[in-house]
Amino acid sequence: MRKSFVLVGLILSIFFFSGCKRKSSQQVFQKEDRVAKEMFQGVWMNEGEENVAFRVKGDTVYYADSVSLPAYFQIFHDTLILHGVSDVKYTIVKQAPHLFVFANQNGDQVRLVKSEDPNDLALFEEIQSHRPAVLNQNRTIKRDTVIMGSNGKYHCYVQVNPTTYKVIKPSYNDDGMEVGNAYYDNIVHLSIYKGAQRLFSKDFRKQDFANEISAQFLKVSILSDLLFSKIDAEGIHYTASIATPDEPSSYQVDVCVTENGKLKMQVK
């Protein structure tokens, strides 16, 4: 019996020390390279060009435009990790106090040199102090339309309202780095009256089109507008535009309000 207790204790000790060793090795592996991170500080520009790529300050990469969102970063061994729209890893090919070479997501090597020009630093300070809220129409749009149909006259009212609902769309800059561009979504109100009777009233959000458009597209798109299309026997038709900002891709959805105020929608 005593031998059994000794054997069990020995096995538990092996597991305990093995677990501690494994945990310790993981902690060492996950430790950031503080020297590389300190060397990465400053304003960087493309070698042989006058294009400023980004500024590194503290734990953050700031890009040289007012649309791309800053990104938190880490450096582990020979890997730069940017935590933006998604976590993206870039292999560091070479790093020196005034040189940084990395492989972008296409496998191309990007060579950056540190800028000593105070005007480049002033550029980033100017961008940060005058950074716009985020791109969208950024204004309320109102439209009144009088429509004549076979059953009488209709008064239609549309209002496009900018919101604070932020949409982050991933894209790639000239260096092949993934950046997140921020936009604000809209809520579009539609009211339809027949004389003094309110036939239909609704605030449309892009989520209202989830049955017509894939969730993946909706995630990076905004509800851009709602425009009158036609009136026929089926009802009053509007076209809702759900678009990806700064890209030609979009969905045009037919929004039809029937004579009895029912709503029907389908992709055009």
DSSP string for residues in 167-223: EEEEEE-TTS-EEEEEEEEEEEEEEEEETTEEEEEEEE-GGGGTTTS-HHHHHT-EE
Region(s) of the chain under CATH 2.40.128.510: 141-267
Which of 12-21, 123-132, 166-175 tops mean pLDDT? 166-175
CATH number of 34-130: 2.40.128.280
Mean pLDDT value across the chain: 84
**C-alpha distance from residue 122 to each of 44, 97, 113, 116, 118 (Å):** 13, 21, 17, 12, 6
The pLDDT value recorded for residue 189 is 97
Could you tell me where in the chain the CATH 2.40.128.280 domains are found? 34-130
The one-letter code for the residue type at 196 is: A
List pLDDT tens digits, range 42-79. 999 999 887 889 999 999 999 887 678 889 999 998 99
Bridge partners for 61 per DSSP: 56, 71
Predicted pLDDT at 135: 43
Lowest mean pLDDT among 36-40, 136-140, 164-168: 136-140
Assigned token pair, 233: 């026997």
Q: Answer for the pair 247, 241: CB distance below 8 angstroms, yes or no.
A: no
Query: What is the CATH number assigned to the segment(s) 141-267?
Result: 2.40.128.510
Q: Output the CA torsion sign for 17, 19, 25, 27.
A: negative
What is the reported pLDDT for 151?
Answer: 84
pTM comes to 0.60
Q: Say what the pLDDT of residue 67 is.
A: 72
